[in-house]
Chain A
Amino acid sequence: MTQGVAMTQGMAMTNDNIITTDVVIVGAGPCGLFAVFELGLLDIKAHLVDILPKVGGQCAELYPEKPIYDIPGFPIVTGQGLVDNLVEQIKPFGPTFHLNQMIEALEPIGTADAPRFRVTTDAGTVFETKTVIVAAGGGSFQPKKPPIPGIDAYEGNSVFYAVRKMEAFRGRDILIVGGGDSALDWTLNLQPIARRVTLMHRRDDFRAAPHSVEQMRALVASGQMDMKLGQVTGLKGEGSALQAAICRDNAGETFEIACDTLLPFFGLTMKLGPIADWGLNLNENLIPADTEKFETSTPGIFAIGDINTYPGKLKLILSGFHEAALAAQKVHRYVYPDKRLTFQYTTSSTSLQKKLGVA
């Protein structure tokens, strides 16, 4: 298990009360993670929110095994390797992660001189914070929706792209589509409580964990579930109640699978999502920020990493790290308006080294 995942396991989700804090970071990609470090050196504690169940953003989700060659000081490091190191590096600052939730609303409740914001997630977590750092990258990772004609009508009642409550699927006739870990995991989890589970994939090769595939094949062999090769091309039903999926096998023959529930798992895609409604200036889905402190048009809201834009912007991890350092300086002014900030090096400052737990 990676460190990133391990850290999230013991995490307390405080949903009942409002969490009062100095900074909320939207997105736990590499830039959001490194912002924790830069803020931590200035005695500012951070809460990070990400819709994914793990930290690391694009590095962890899109290319965990691929090597990156342009991180200073690392001639070569994998996407996940970089994330693991970032998590290790920010440990002394004890950030709080709120994973599996999307920040939906961001509402100003302060003044321009003393900004404050109420930030709400779709899981009901509410923060009151002095500043917000938007490190949302290419947007929130959300499940891809297959372009099956009429699928929208069934969403929420018969078609689901994620499973939030397993109990909702008790006694159902479920068709799961896909060949990766999500498809296999939900097949195995739902099979005992569903009336019947059918797994459909376009080929007889699965890229999920081998033991899950073995377990699935054993259930098929003992007649406890079905596995079909093919792809869904259409849906049949009344209103939002699904009755069958129209499918095509690899020889082009059409057949139907009776089912009242369809769970398609086609991976994730990045979408800007609710950020568009936060009253920030947007330029082609990017947030303009100044290059002195990476503040947006709203005082107290910062934008770092892939989500921001300014003349000369390069979408590189390196740039996001630099932006995090500069944003942190201005965040300090909002959080400690009366404190003077003196510039210090980690190599020589005893006070910084104490914060890092090395002095």
Chain B
Amino acid sequence: MHVRVTDREGEQRELEALEGWRLMEIIRDWGLPIKAECGGACACATCHVYVAADWVDKLHPPREEELERLDEAFDVRPNSRLACQILFSPELDGLTVVLAPELD
């Protein structure tokens, strides 16, 4: 299983993904620059990603907590998600995301 992640310099990487891991953990484990300050507790919004258009509807919709946390992110778009709130499963094989800008 794989996930395709484009970093902030525009470079795309294909990362091996494990079932049951959060997308944030996969990205962080492969060493891509995702801050994930709160470690996945939906408390920091520093794991903000944009999901490719054809994947948006395949993900479970964001819960209220995720929407509230996205208020603390920058340049939020309709396809914005917090990577720590996406649990990886076989149906997500090939998921494609872009790292959103990080607040300083």
A-to-B contact residues, CB < 8 Å? 62-63, 66, 138, 144-147, 178-180, 201-203, 205, 207, 231, 233, 250, 266-267, 269-270
Instruction: Evaluate contact between A233 and B75: CB separation under 8 angstroms.
Output: yes
Q: Is B71 on the interface with A (CB-CB < 8 A)?
A: yes
C-beta contact mask, B68-100 vs A, less than 8 Å → 1, else 0?
A: 101111111010000000000000000000000
Known: A203-B71, A266-B73, A269-B104. 13 other contacts (CB 8 A): A63-B41, A66-B43, A144-B103, A145-B104, A146-B103, A147-B101, A147-B102, A203-B67, A205-B67, A233-B75, A250-B78, A266-B72, A269-B46
Q: Is the interface of B mostly helix, strand, loop or mixed?
A: loop
Which A residues touch B104, using CB under 8 A? 144-145, 147, 269
- B37 at interface by CB-CB < 8 Å: yes
Whether B72 and A267, one on each chain, are in contact in the complex, defined by CB atoms closer than 8 angstroms, is yes
Task: Choose among B43, B71, B78 the residue with the greatest number of A CB atoms under 10 Å from its CB.
Answer: B71
- Chain A residues closer than 8 Å to B41, beta-carbon distance: 62-63, 66
Q: Which residue of A lies closest to B65 (CB)?
A: A207
Secondary structure class of chain A's binding surface, majority of residues: loop
List residues of chain A with CB within 8 A of the CB of B71: 178-180, 201-203, 207
CA distance A332 to B78 in the complex (A): 57
Closest chain-A Cβ to B70's Cβ sits at a distance in Å of: 8
Top-9 shortest CB links A-B:
A144-B103, A267-B72, A145-B104, A62-B43, A207-B68, A179-B71, A146-B74, A147-B101, A266-B72
15 A-B residue pairs with CB within 8 Å: A62-B44, A63-B38, A63-B41, A66-B43, A144-B104, A146-B103, A147-B101, A180-B72, A201-B71, A207-B68, A231-B75, A233-B75, A266-B103, A269-B37, A269-B46
Using A180-B72, A207-B71, A266-B72 as known contacts, say yes or no to A138 and B102 having CB atoms under 8 A apart. no
Q: What is the CB-to-nearest-CB distance from B16 to chain A, in angstroms, rounded to a whole number?
A: 26
B74–A266 CB distance below 8 A: yes
- A325 CB to closest chain B CB (Å) equals 26
Which B residues between 31 and 79 are near A, CB-CB below 8 angstroms? 35, 37-38, 41, 43-46, 67-68, 70-76, 78
Give the chain B neighbours of A233 by CB distance below 8 A: 75
Chain B residues with CB below 8 A from A147, complex form: 74, 101-104
> Chain B interface residue count: which class?
20 to 34
Please, which residue of chain A has its CB at the minimum distance from the CB of B44? Answer: A62
* A-contacting residues, B10-42, CB 8 Å: 35, 37-38, 41
Within 8 Å CB of A178, what residues of B?
71
For the complex formed, measure the closest distance between the CB of B24 and the CB atoms of chain A, giving whole angstroms. Answer: 15
Taken together as a complex, chains A and B put the C-alpha atoms of A170 and B70 apart, in Å, by 31
Bound-complex Cα distance A178 to B73 (A): 10
Rounded to whole Å, the gap between the CB of B8 and the closest CB of chain A is 10
- In the docked arrangement, what's the CA distance between A266 and B103, Å? 9
Give Cα A138–Cα B36 distance, bound, in whole angstroms: 13
Which has the most chain A C-beta neighbours within 10 Å: B35, B67, B78, B104?
Answer: B104
Residues from chain A with a CB closer than 8 A to the CB of B45 are: 267
**In the bound complex, CA of A343 to CA of B69 (Å):** 47
Interface pair B76/A202, CB less than 8 Å apart: yes
Check A231 against B102 for contact (C-beta < 8 Å).
no
